Every structure is written in C-alpha cells, then in structure tokens.
Amino acid sequence: MANPGDNQAEEAGKPSVDEYFKVPSEVFQIGDRLDSDVFFYHQRQYVLFKSRGQTWSVDDGQRLATTGVAELFCRFKSPKEHHEFLHRKLRSIISHPTIPTEKKAKVLYETSGPILTTVYSTPNSGELMQSASNYVKRCIQYLNDRGSIAELFKLSGESLTEHTHALHVSAYSVALGKRVGVNDQTQVYALGLGALLHDIGKSRIDPAILSKPGELDDDEWQLVRQHPEMGEQILYHRDIVPVLSRRIVLEHHERVNGKGYPKGIKSQHHFSRIVAIADCFNTLTSVRPYAKAMTPFDALKFMVQTMRAEFDGELLESFIDMLSN
Ligand SMILES: [Fe+2]
Ligand SMILES: [Fe+2]
C-alpha cells in the first residue's frame, strides 16, 4: 500500500485506475451529497469514512475532530480528475454569498497543498498548468470579499512551504495591485498567475539545497540564483501563461536599485516590483530552515529600514497601508 498522497506527485497527467488522493475535509459542506466515497488513512490502509450518496453532516466534522483525523482521501482515475473535483468544490465555496470569509480562506489555504504541490512538482504538465490558472481565478474572486486579506494573513507564519508561499504571494500581489489601481481583469490575472508561479524554477533545484538549514556555499547559491530564469523557461511554451506572467517570474528578484538578480536591471515591470514586495514579506513572516518567522510589524520595519532602496517606495507604502487597514 502506498503512503498517503504519494501518488499525487507521481505520473501526473497519466491516467490510472482509482488511486487515492488527498482531499481537505474543509471542502465538504454540511448538507453536501457526496459524489464519491471518502476515506481516511489508518494503520497503513485506507478506511471508508463515508459512502458516496450520503450527506455530509455536522456530526461528520465533529467525528473528525474527536478522532484526530487530519486528512481525508477520495479515489480518482488521474491527477486531472482530482484537480477538477477540488476546483468544483473551491468554486462553489468561494462564490457562495453566505459562507464566511474565514471559512473561504481556510478552504483556499487547505486546497493550495493538493493543487499547487503537484503543479510545482510537475510544471511541464499542461493539465496542471490549467489547474494553476483556475486556482488564481478563485484566489482573485476570494479577494472581492471584505477582510479577505486579513483572514488569509491569519493563516501565514507557519513553515515556508512552496504551496502556501505561492498562495500568499499571489494574494498579496493581487490585493496590492488592485489597491494601486490595477483593475483590468486580464492584467489582474497575469499578475496573480505570475505571482503564483514565481518560484516554479525551484522545481529544478535539489530540495536538499533549498531546505539547507545553514549558509549556502558559492556553488549552491549560484544554482539557486538561476531559479527565475529556469522558471521563465519552464513556462515558455505554455500558452495559458501570459507573457507578462513569465516576465514577473523572471524579474521577481530584480531590485529597483539594480542590486537584484539574475540581470541586475532597474527597469523591471511594475508588477514584478509588486511581487518582489509580497515575496519578501511572506518569506520574512514565515518560518524558514535558517531563521524564525518575524512578526508582520518587524518584517515591515525591516523592509523599510534595511531594504528600502531595493523596493519601489510608493508600492511599499501602499503595501504597509493595505496591511494596516
Ligand atoms: Fe524566488
Ligand atoms: Fe518566493
């Protein structure tokens, strides 16, 4: 029996028969009629929790809480089918007018794992890139709710995983973009998708280097500094990814004082400057292998006092205003 979730990252895009995939319990709403069997994993096997056709009830949520079951699974024929299921759930929850923003934030956060982990580990799959595109659309829709950034922000601070980092950077970037007047939906989408995929080039770097607790040596650092270009190359033939999103991926470590990488330019796109701020802030406020998480206040203070020359001053002020309100 495979370990839970193992099959998600493997053979992405290839059809298989009834494999088990992670499904966050938050996607099941009270009153939902289940369209597939739901399992949990116990003593090296999948155990049926609830059958297809049954209705999700209050008791089910309580039963999960009291038994300490953290993860649920459903069977699908392929990663594509799994993602389609998650997107159906995500769409109905995010667009629901009476579901509280807090709950929507939790669902967006919990689905970032199963959706974005496979996108980041299998970036050459067109189907999974479509999934990233759908996810950004839900993220943009979620941000129409009042207080959405604050609710999402409450879910940060944990260790810096690629999927939660991608979600936060995308959400902060879209919110900051809208705050400084980016209203055209095509532009908002390009910004959100570029931010979501900004570190996709890291999928080509040895995870041991990325999670190294100490200082990187020169060779390792040279390799890590290539991730913006690697990311741009990965996305080059993906029609679903706008040219502007690719530019963001390439430029998100460039700095306005020309001291960034890979090229050390000062002429980076406005959106790349937005993502640079969101990326830095989420990195500083998350637990990293080599550092503790800063409080939001300390992170912003550090960015203003120590890194100010690296960022667009007006954007940084707008970002601080946005997080203070
Ligand atoms: Fe990066
Ligand atoms: Fe990043």
Q: Is pLDDT of 288 > 60?
A: yes
Quote the ligand 2 centre to 249 CA distance (angstroms): 10
- CA 198 – ligand 2 centroid, Å: 6
The residue to which tokens 């709403």 are assigned? 29
- Give the pLDDT score at 11: 41
pLDDT at position 192 is 98
- Let me know the angle formed at the C-alpha of 176 by 171 and 180, rounded to the nearest 5 degrees: 150
Residue 108, pLDDT score: 95
Each residue's pLDDT tens digit, 159-211: 678 889 999 999 999 999 999 999 999 999 999 999 999 999 999 999 899 88
Q: State residue 280's pLDDT score.
A: 97
Whole-angstrom distance, CA of residue 23 vs CA of residue 83: 10
Q: So what's the pLDDT on residue 17?
A: 57
Ligand 2 midpoint to CA 283 (Å) = 7
Rg, Å, the chain Cα set: 20
292 versus 197: which is more confidently predicted?
197
Please indicate whether residue 258 or residue 118 has the higher confidence score (pLDDT): 258
226 alpha carbon to ligand 1 midpoint, in Å?
Answer: 9
Task: Give pLDDT, residue 157.
Answer: 63
| Mean pLDDT estimate for the chain | 90
Once rounded to an integer, what is the mean pLDDT over residues 63-68?
A: 87
Q: Mean pLDDT throughout 20-33?
A: 92
Residues bordering ligand 2, an ion, CB closer than 5 Å: 199, 279
The answer for 314, left when phi > 0, alpha when psi is -120 to 50, beta otherwise, is: alpha
Residue 322 has a pLDDT of: 94
- Compute, in angstroms, the gap from residue 322 CA to the centroid of ligand 1: 23
How far away, in angstroms, is 90 Cα from ligand 1 center? 27
Task: Name the pLDDT band for 9 (thresholds 50, 70, 90).
Answer: very low
Asked if 142 and 104 touch (Cβ cutoff 8 Å), the reply is: yes
Q: Which CATH architecture has domain 79-324?
A: Orthogonal Bundle (1.10)
Residue 3: pLDDT above 70?
A: no
* Ligand 1 center–CA 118 separation, angstroms: 18
The predicted pLDDT at position 159 comes to 67
Is 275 in contact with 194 (CB distance < 8 Å)? yes
* Peptide linkage before 262 cis (omega within 30 of 0): yes
Spans of all domains in the chain: 79-324
Residue appearing with tokens 């595109």: 133
Is 134 a residue whose pLDDT tops 70? yes
Predicted pLDDT at 217: 92
| pLDDT(6) > 80 | no
Q: What pLDDT is recorded for position 325?
A: 75
Range with lowest mean pLDDT among 51-60, 89-98, 156-165, 201-210: 156-165
Give percent of the chain above pLDDT 70.
94
Which of the four pLDDT bands, split at 50, 70 and 90, describes residue 291? Answer: confident
Ligand 1 center–CA 199 separation, angstroms: 5
Amino acid symbol at 247: R
Contact between 41 and 71 (Cβ < 8 Å): yes
